[in-house]
């Protein structure tokens, strides 16, 4: 490129990102998949990240920049919105465009002409495994790609925050007893069904993190009432009968209404549930996503030992599993959630912190302890 990147984190991670896309696109092509994106070269990745980073530090009319960039030619964008003349990719251009394209699902199209990168317009349709760079907040960039199946949350590849770079380790989902939500976020267990239970749980996790108030969601087995032994009674806000707004939509048969209508309805029901996680105490659902209670206080079950350690993991390169006291992860909220899973092995606890961290607690039969999976790097 004519202009060398000045954001050094972009230079540091560009080769790794190119290798990731080359690996996955080659594998997809060998499997006979169609509508595949084009591999971005390292120098193109550097430039896109560099420009987006400096744009992220700017404001337009007092508001921070939020924008999504996608690397693809207009010919792969379905029915794109095209500029009459492509515009040179610069921080100034992105700053001016951002207010008009900050809504979810709108991507600014970037493509190369000669030795430069240009913005050619916008699109809401992307080819499979397309390189996407999201500017989430000042100094925070997320490299991701559209799943090959085309449905569900985009798969994150790397997160850059200032001079800190976290590259997602896809192999971390292969650790003993990794929970399904982690495997799905890493793209190890793709599904084409929006109403798959794990995909719905991911939507709930994203929504929990988005309200920025913190919260606990306990997921209990639908065929057992043992979880009540770990809750203080009487419950503050018990639900009777169990509220089945999400559960009913998960049984969608695809005949009565369109899929888009159903997806929007599911999103509203998910937000209805996750809003309750902002209330002090834990929100409780079963594995069919039926709401049982909220505002619940967690207590150590009778005859149970106090939990004194969990195995903390984060799905990033060079991430080392560490034995740690659960309160050291984030205080009493994390301690109580870890104690719940320690007492109720067939349950999970999802914990959102006000500062954006997100942890999934699950029991590991193989290691006979509670695992704490930090997955916020996958939810951005």
User: Do residues 135 and 244 share a domain?
Assistant: no
Spatial distance between the Cα atoms of 335 and 340, rounded to a whole number of angstroms? 9
User: Do residues 116 and 31 share a domain?
Assistant: yes
Q: Which helix (H) or strand (E) holds 379?
A: helix 376-379
Q: Which residues pair with 132 in a beta bridge?
A: 70, 144
Spatial distance between the Cα atoms of 198 and 219, rounded to a whole number of angstroms? 12
Q: Is the pLDDT of residue 110 over 70?
A: yes
Predicted pLDDT at 249: 82
Q: What percent of the chain has pLDDT above 90?
A: 75
User: Do residues 160 and 202 share a domain?
Assistant: no
172 within domain boundaries: no
Predicted pLDDT at 114: 87
88 within domain boundaries: yes
User: Do residues 161 and 204 share a domain?
Assistant: no
Range of the domain at 105: 8-167
User: Do residues 107 and 234 share a domain?
Assistant: no
pLDDT category of residue 1 using cuts at 50, 70 and 90: very low
Q: What percent of the chain has pLDDT above 70?
A: 93
79 within domain boundaries: yes
User: Do residues 364 and 308 share a domain?
Assistant: yes
Q: How many Cα neighbours within 13 Å face the side chain of 108? A: 28
Q: What is the CATH number of the domain that holds 228?
A: 3.40.1700.10
Q: Is the pLDDT of residue 196 over 90?
A: no
Which has the minimum average pLDDT: 106-110, 259-263, 297-301?
259-263
Q: Is the pLDDT of residue 286 over 70?
A: yes
User: Do residues 160 and 209 share a domain?
Assistant: no
User: Do residues 125 and 241 share a domain?
Assistant: no
Spatial neighbors of 30 by CB under 8 A, at least 6 apart, are: none
Predicted pLDDT at 174: 77
2 within domain boundaries: no
176 within domain boundaries: no
Q: Is the pLDDT of residue 259 over 70?
A: no
Q: Is the pLDDT of residue 146 over 60?
A: yes
182 within domain boundaries: no
**Domains identified in the chain, total number:** 2
The residue out of 127, 148, 167 marking a domain boundary is 167
User: Do residues 154 and 216 share a domain?
Assistant: no
User: Do residues 230 and 273 share a domain?
Assistant: yes
User: Do residues 162 and 202 share a domain?
Assistant: no
Condensed to tens digits (0 to 9), the pLDDT of residues 335-368 reads 999 999 999 999 999 999 998 899 999 999 999 9
Q: Which of 36, 248, 260, 14 is nearest to 128 (CA)?
A: 36
CA dihedral sign of residues 334, 324, 166, 18: negative
Q: Is the pLDDT of residue 149 over 60?
A: no
Phi and psi at 215, nearest 5°, equal 170, 165
User: Do residues 218 and 349 share a domain?
Assistant: yes
């Amino acid at each position: 490129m004519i202009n060398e990147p000045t954001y050094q984190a972009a230079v540091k991670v560009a080769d790794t990102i190119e290798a990731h896309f080359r690996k996955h696109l080659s594998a997809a092509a060998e499997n006979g998949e169609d509508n595949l994106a084009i591999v971005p070269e390292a120098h193109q990745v550097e430039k896109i990240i560099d420009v987006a980073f400096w744009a992220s530090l700017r404001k337009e009319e007092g508001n921070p920049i939020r924008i999504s960039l996608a690397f693809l030619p207009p010919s792969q964008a379905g029915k794109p919105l095209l500029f009459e003349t492509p515009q040179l990719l610069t921080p100034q251009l992105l700053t001016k465009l951002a207010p008009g394209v900050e809504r979810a699902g709108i991507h600014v199209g970037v493509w190369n002409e000669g030795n430069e990168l240009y913005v050619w317009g916008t699109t809401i349709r992307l080819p499979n495994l397309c390189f996407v760079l999201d500017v989430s907040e000042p100094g925070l960039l997320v490299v991701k790609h559209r799943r090959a199946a085309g449905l569900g949350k985009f798969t994150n590849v790397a997160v850059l925050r200032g001079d800190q770079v976290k590259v997602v380790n896809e192999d971390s989902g292969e650790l003993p007893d990794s929970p399904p939500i982690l495997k799905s976020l890493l793209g190890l267990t793709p599904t084409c069904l929006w109403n798959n239970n794990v995909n719905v749980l991911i939507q709930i996790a994203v929504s929990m993190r988005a309200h920025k108030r913190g919260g606990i969601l306990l997921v209990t087995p639908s065929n057992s009432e043992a979880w009540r032994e770990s809750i203080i009674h009487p419950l503050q806000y018990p639900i009777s009968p169990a509220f089945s707004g999400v559960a009913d939509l998960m049984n969608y048969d695809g005949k009565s209404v369109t899929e888009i209508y159903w997806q929007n309805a599911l999103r509203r029901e998910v937000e209805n549930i996750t809003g309750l996680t902002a209330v002090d105490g834990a929100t409780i659902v079963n594995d069919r996503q039926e709401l049982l209670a909220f505002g619940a206080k967690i207590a150590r079950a009778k005859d149970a030992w106090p939990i004194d350690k969990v195995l903390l993991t984060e799905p990033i390169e060079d991430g080392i599993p560490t034995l740690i006291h659960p309160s050291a992860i984030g205080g009493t909220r994390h301690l109580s959630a870890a104690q719940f899973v320690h007492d109720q092995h067939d349950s999970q606890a999802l914990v959102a912190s006000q500062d954006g961290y997100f942890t999934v607690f699950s029991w590991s039969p193989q290691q006979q302890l509670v695992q704490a999976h930090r997955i916020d790097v996958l939810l951005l």
